[in-house]
């Protein structure tokens, strides 16, 4: 079991406070970038909570995100915004539960394939519904400042870190690490592997949906192509793997440099973002199989070994 | 034979792989506190039988019961929770965790589930029992072969199982290690554990098992007191083949 | 009735594409998510030769196949084999293969975008009507179907009756035992992967005669090929063909009767049903 000391918690709280103060210190452009970074931090960290220990690569982030965006878009006519966010979370959890029950009993490959097409398929279905009902896009009538989005995301990130920390110390977290190491042994130790996986998968599902709902006002106008960007799933996977899923703070370490790199490439070579994604995937597999976290831990181990002799 | 109650019971247990019948209509009982040897030549179906009992494979026919409750229809994790624990032929330790954490896995999710300090204390007790208390924070990659087997044994014991299935646990050990291994299993027997021992090492069978069940080609060909069974001409023929009996 | 035949025609071509993936995943154990991009590349090649030099796609295939074979062989040996060597378990290899081929697919799309731009491309080839069983079909679909049948048939015979073919099937079923019988697993895995890529590229050339492609449509084809392979049972040739035909018919039905925009959703539904009720596929063996 992970030994989480109180100094870790203190560091976390301090960093969180610093992050919350950011908008008062930097200019407007930086805040926009910060919103993106915060959003990806939320998505990547919650992604890693499931895909890290189990090694099941989920590409469903965009689908959950879109579900949340549409929940907000459609629901704003009937419910206040602040109710829609947790509601989106519930929908996301339910959808994740269903997907999990269908695919997590099987090997990881089926799961990846299924989640790969999920966003595409959902987009097709929604486009069809829109064409059938004649409704084009959804206009969002409420508006927030960038800083509000930023704080909402930082708040959600804080919640995720707390949840992740608690899970790491819980039976469920332990069960999932065992499943990730050897699923057969997990089963024979008495773990209900299917249920554990499904339960944990509901977390990134709910979180991505809530994030989608939160971001809906930022888009202003909701359309299938906007709500369900398949790119989103791939970006989240890269950032989380780049940072490393071995630690709770791993994904952030991947999010920050990648987001900045993405902004730079989008600005200078807008058509080559796809190429960038591909090269990053390859770099991760060949150079950083355990992300930056893995690299840091290896260096630290070697340093302490060197000192030992 | 003994007035101990029956813990594990197989009735007509059968396993088919397509056209091949690996286990054919197998009947036997295991009494509480006894050490039952399950022996037979290669390919006789011994390991498959263990797989059926532990739930690693579903039965094609027949039933398996634990304390009079049928377990053959349950998935492996539930069978473990009910109290059947097993080791694997090829030792499977969790690669990313220490010895302590490996055993903890059995403590948290096994038959008798524990958590927190209670679990940690029990894990240390088990490690002491198998002689690994000083290597609790070692990694599987740093251990000798017999030590990895000790870890696995501790992991299955720590959940206080009702029945222990040892799948060729003594295989691949050099003479010194074999001595240590046999005395460890003897300690378990003296503690009153119920064990089904699948083995090829005859010395171990002789010194540890009160009773034996002998299988050949999926069928039970003999059952009874160890010495009697090992002298049974039918059994000798099965091991040596038809030509030289 | 028309739906049935059109569906079969489409399915036949799908079968060819799925065969490519089947060779790569079922036999050399690499889940190649860049499969669709290889298809699009094949289509591009056919397009280019037709519009630039009026060369029939049926002829382009003969040049395309060996080139694609070589390129895929290179990819396997340089990029994928190190993964096979370093993977400690089959699950690890699958994850690594997925991420790597994913990366490759993005690189391929990026390169294609840079070279050809993002426009759709299609061309008129054999756009003549043909009367068959009281209904009119397009000749190009028919020709593509026949070519696919010939190639699939040849592959089937080769896999079942030639030494190399049977060795490859042996690797799919039991790689460790195959090694023990003297089969050169690394070399044949490379061969299977290269062959799979060549077959996919040829399929792409054929499909481009009657479908519109662009640099980003690769992923949809990858998905369909994956669905077909899994539905039919990984590694099983007959299963792939049957599943491809089924998908072709289902898609055509959905496109004509319900809405052309729901074809992927229909394929998905089929996929979910298979996963729920028969994950080993129609012809596959249950994994112990």
Mean pLDDT across chain A, nearest whole number? 85
**A187:B111 CB<8 A:** no
Question: Per the CB < 8 Å rule, is C114 touching A109?
Answer: no
Is A147's pLDDT higher than 50? Answer: yes
First-to-last C-alpha distance (Å) of chain C: 41
* Interchain CB contact of B56 with A (< 8 Å): yes
> Does CATH number 1.10.3470 belong to domain C2-277?
yes
Contact C110 A282 (CB under 8 A): no
What is the per-residue pLDDT for C130?
A: 58
Measuring CA to CA, how many Å separate C46 from each of A256, C9, C151?
43, 20, 17
What is the model's pLDDT at position A47?
95
Gap between the Cα atoms of C239 and C285, Å rounded: 11
Rounded Cα–Cα distance for residues A157 and C199 (Å) = 47
CA B64 to chain centre: 15
Answer yes or no: are the C-beta atoms of C104 and C79 closer than 8 Å: yes
CATH topology of domain A6-308: ABC transporter involved in vitamin B12 uptake, BtuC (1.10.3470)
Q: Rounded to whole angstroms, how far apart are CA atoms B225 and A29?
A: 84
The percent of residues in chain B predicted with pLDDT above 90, rounded, is 44
For residue B46, give the 3-state DSSP assignment: helix
Please report which confidence band the pLDDT of residue B62 belongs to, taking 50, 70 and 90 as the band edges.
Answer: very high
As a whole number of angstroms, the distance between CA B115 and CA B99 comes to 17
What's the average model confidence in pLDDT over B21-26? 91
Average pLDDT for A136-154? 84
**Which candidate from A121, A124, A285 shows the least CB-CB separation from C100?**
A285
Strands B195-198 and B163-167: parallel
Distance to chain A for B160, nearest Cα, Å? 12
Q: Which chains does chain A touch, 3 or more C-beta pairs < 8 A?
A: B, C
Would the pLDDT of C94 be above 80?
A: no
Residue B214, classed as helix, strand or coil, is strand
Q: How many CB atoms lie within 10 A of CB C217?
A: 18
Residue B214, strand partner residues: B39, B222
pLDDT band at B194 (very low <50, low <70, confident <90, very high): very high
SS3 state at B212: strand
For tokens 């359309």, name the residue.
Answer: A223
Give the residue from B154, B187, B181 showing the smallest Cα distance to B35.
B187
The closest CB to that of A281, out of C103, C111, C275, belongs to: C103
* Residues of chain A contacting residue C93, judged by C-beta atoms under 8 Å apart: none
What is the reported pTM? 0.83
What's chain C's length in residues? 288
| C110 contacts in chain A (CB < 8 Å) | 271-272, 274-278
CB of A135 less than 8 A from some CB of B: no
Average pLDDT for A5-23: 76
Mind telling me how many Å the CA of A179 is from chain B's nearest CA?
Answer: 9
Structure confidence at residue C173 (pLDDT): 73
Beta strands in chain A (DSSP E): 138-139, 221-222
Least confident range of C118-122, C183-187, C196-200, C223-227: C118-122
Report the pLDDT value the prediction gives residue B166, as an integer from 0 to 100: 93
Q: Does the pLDDT of residue A172 top 60, yes or no?
A: yes
Give the residue, C150 or A230, on which the prediction is more confident.
C150
Q: Taking a C-beta distance cutoff of 8 angstroms, is the pair A65, A58 a contact?
A: no
Domains by residue range for chain B, with CATH: 1-83+164-173+194-245 (3.40.50.300)
Average pLDDT for residues B130-152, to the nearest whole number?
89
Residues of A in contact with B104 (CB under 8 A): 1, 174
CA distance C25 to C93: 12
* Paired sense of beta strands B211-216 and B35-39, if any: parallel
Q: Do A285 and C219 touch (CB under 8 A)?
A: no
Instruction: Please say whether the beta carbons of B81 and A190 come within 8 A.
Output: yes
Six token digits for residue C74? 């290179």
**ipTM exceeding cut-off 0.90 for this assembly:** no
- A-C contacts (CB, under 8 Å): 118
Of the listed ranges A227-236, A251-260, C269-278, the least confidently predicted one is C269-278
State the first-to-last Cα distance of chain B, in angstroms, to the nearest integer: 30
Mean of per-residue pLDDT scores for chain C = 80
Beta bridge partners of B14: B61
d(CA C210, CA C148): 14
What mean pLDDT is predicted for residues C24-29?
80
List, in order, residues 6 or more apart from B101 with CB less than 8 Å away.
Answer: A1, B94
Kindly determine whether residue B77 and residue A193, on different chains, have CB atoms separated by under 8 Å. Answer: yes
DSSP for A176-209, please give it: HHHHHH-HHHHHHHT--HHHHHHHHHHHHHHHHH
Cβ distance of A279 and C103 shorter than 8 Å: yes
Least confident of B155-164, C14-23, C73-82, C120-129: C120-129
* Separation between Cα atoms, residue B3 and residue C161, nearest integer Å: 63
What residues pair up with B35 in beta bridges, in sequence order? B195
CA–CA distance, C211 with B199 (Å, rounded to integer): 63
Whole-angstrom distance, CA of residue B60 vs CA of residue A263: 59
When mean pLDDT is compared across B14-28, B117-131, C201-215, the lowest value belongs to C201-215
Q: Is residue A206's pLDDT more than 90?
A: yes
User: Is residue A309 over pLDDT 50?
Assistant: no
The most distant pair of C-alpha atoms in chain A lies apart, rounded to whole Å, by: 74
C-alpha closest to that of C208 among C64, C29, C19, C69: C64
**Residue C22 has which token pair?**
């089947």
Q: In chain C, what are the domain boundaries?
A: 2-277
CA-CA distance, C78 to A282, in Å (whole number)?
Answer: 13
Best of B88, B91, B94, B114 to disrupt the A interface (most A CBs within 10 Å) is: B94
CB contact under 8 A, B76 and A182: no
* Exposure class string for C55-68: b at 16+ Cβ within 10 A, else e: eebbebbeebbeeb
Higher pLDDT, C123 or B185: B185
> Which residues, 6 or more positions from A306, have their beta carbon under 8 angstroms from its beta carbon?
none
* CA nearest to C211, candidates C21, C36, C29: C36
In angstroms, the CA C57 to CA C61 distance is 6
Give Cβ neighbours of residue C157 (< 8 Å, ≥ 6 apart): none
A190/B113 touch (CB, cutoff 8 Å), yes or no: yes
Q: Find, among A184, A48, A287, the residue nearest to B91 by Cα.
A: A184
Q: Which of B53, B60, B61, B15 is nearest to B36 (CA)?
A: B53
**Token reading at B200:** 């090829």
Half-sphere exposure of C2 (CA within 13 A, CB side): 10
Note the pLDDT of residue A114.
85
d(CA B206, CA B203): 5
A-proximal residues of B, 94-133, CB under 8 Å: 94-97, 101, 104-106, 108-111, 113, 115
Contact state of B95 with A178 under an 8 Å Cβ cutoff: no
Asked if residue B242 has pLDDT above 60, the reply is no
The answer to whether the Cβ–Cβ distance between A181 and B96 falls below 8 Å is yes
């Amino acid at each position: 079991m992970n030994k989480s000391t109180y100094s870790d918690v203190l560091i976390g709280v301090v960093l969180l406070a610093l992050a919350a103060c950011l908008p008062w210190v930097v200019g407007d452009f930086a805040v926009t970038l910060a919103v993106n970074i915060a959003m990806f931090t939320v998505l990547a960290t919650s992604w890693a909570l499931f895909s890290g220990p189990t090694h099941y690569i989920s590409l469903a982030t965009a689908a959950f995100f879109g579900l949340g965006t549409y929940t907000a878009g459609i629901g704003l006519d009937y419910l206040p915004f602040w109710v829609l966010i947790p509601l989106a979370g519930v929908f996301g959890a339910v959808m994740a539960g269903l997907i999990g029950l269908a695919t997590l009993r099987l090997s990881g490959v089926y799961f990846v394939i299924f989640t790969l097409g999920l966003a595409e398929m959902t987009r097709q279905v929604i486009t069809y519904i829109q064409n059938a009902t004649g409704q084009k896009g959804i206009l969002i009538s409420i508006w927030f400042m960038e800083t509000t989005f930023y704080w909402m995301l930082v708040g959600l990130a804080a919640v995720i870190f707390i949840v992740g920390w608690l899970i790491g110390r819980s039976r469920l977290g332990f069960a999932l690490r065992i499943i990730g190491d050897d699923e057969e042994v997990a089963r024979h130790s008495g773990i209900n592997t299917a249920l554990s996986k499904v339960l944990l998968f509901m977390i990134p599902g709910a979180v991505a949906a809530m994030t989608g709902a939160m971001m809906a006002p930022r888009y202003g106008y909701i359309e299938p192509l906007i709500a369900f960007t398949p790119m989103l799933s791939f970006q989240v996977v890269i950032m989380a793997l780049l940072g490393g899923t071995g630690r709770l703070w791993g994904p952030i370490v991947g999010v920050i440099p990648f987001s900045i790199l993405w902004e730079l490439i989008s600005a200078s070579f807008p058509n080559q973002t796809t190429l960038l994604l591909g090269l990053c995937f390859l770099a991760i597999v060949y150079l950083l199989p355990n992300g930056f976290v893995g690299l840091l831990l290896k260096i630290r181990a070697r340093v302490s070994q060197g000192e030992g002799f | 034979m003994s007035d101990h109650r029956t813990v594990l019971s197989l009735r007509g247990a059968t396993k088919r792989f397509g056209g091949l019948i690996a286990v054919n209509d197998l009947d036997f009982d295991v009494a509480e506190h006894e050490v039952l040897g399950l022996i037979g030549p290669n390919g006789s179906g011994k390991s498959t039988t263990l797989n059926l009992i532990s739930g690693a494979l579903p039965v094609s026919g027949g039933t398996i019961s634990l304390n009079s409750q049928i377990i053959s229809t349950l998935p492996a994790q539930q069978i473990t929770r009910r109290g059947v624990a097993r080791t694997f032929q090829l030792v499977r330790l969790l690669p990313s965790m220490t010895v302590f954490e490996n055993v903890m896995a059995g403590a948290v999710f096994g038959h008798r589930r524990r958590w927190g300090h209670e679990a940690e204390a029990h894990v240390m007790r088990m490690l002491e029992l198998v002689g690994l208390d000083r290597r609790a924070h070692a990694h599987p990659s740093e251990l000798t072969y017999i030590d990895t087997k000790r870890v696995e044994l501790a992991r299955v014991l720590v959940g206080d199982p009702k029945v222990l299935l040892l799948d060729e646990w003594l295989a691949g050990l050099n003479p010194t290690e074999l001595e240590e291994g046999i005395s460890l299993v003897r300690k378990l027997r003296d503690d009153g554990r119920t064990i089904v021992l699948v083995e090829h090492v005859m010395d171990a069978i002789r010194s540890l098992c009160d009773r034996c069940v002998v299988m050949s080609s999926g069928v039970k060909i003999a059952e009874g007191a160890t010495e009697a069974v090992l002298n049974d001409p039918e059994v000798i023929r099965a091991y040596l083949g038809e030509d030289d009996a | 009735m028309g739906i049935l035949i059109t569906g079969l025609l489409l399915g036949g071509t799908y079968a060819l594409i799925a065969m490519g993936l089947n060779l790569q995943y079922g036999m050399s154990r690499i889940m190649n998510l860049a499969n669709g991009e290889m298809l699009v590349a094949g289509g591009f090649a056919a397009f280019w030769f037709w519009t630039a030099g009026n060369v029939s796609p049926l002829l382009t295939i003969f040049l395309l196949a060996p080139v694609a074979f070589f390129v895929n062989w290179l990819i396997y040996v340089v990029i994928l084999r190190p993964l096979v060597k370093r993977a400690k378990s089959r699950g690890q290899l699958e994850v690594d293969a997925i991420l790597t081929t994913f990366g490759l697919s993005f690189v391929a799309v990026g390169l294609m975008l840079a070279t050809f731009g993002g426009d759709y491309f299609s061309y008129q080839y054999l756009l003549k009507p043909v009367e068959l069983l009281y209904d009119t079909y397009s000749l190009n679909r028919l020709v593509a179907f026949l070519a696919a049948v010939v190639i699939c048939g040849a592959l089937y015979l080769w896999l079942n009756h030639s030494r190399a073919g049977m060795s490859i099937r042996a690797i799919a079923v039991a790689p460790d035992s195959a090694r023990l019988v003297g089969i050169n697993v690394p070399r044949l895995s490379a061969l299977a992967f290269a062959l799979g890529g060549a077959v996919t590229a040829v399929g792409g050339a054929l499909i481009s005669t009657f479908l519109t492609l662009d640099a980003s449509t690769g992923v949809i084809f990858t998905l369909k090929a994956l669905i077909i392979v899994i539905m039919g049972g990984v590694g099983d040739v007959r299963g792939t063909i049957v599943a491809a035909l089924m998908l072709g018919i289902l898609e055509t039905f959905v496109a004509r009767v319900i809405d052309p925009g729901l074809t992927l959703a229909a394929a998905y539904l089929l996929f979910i049903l298979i996963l729920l009720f028969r994950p080993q596929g129609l012809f596959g063996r249950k994994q112990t």
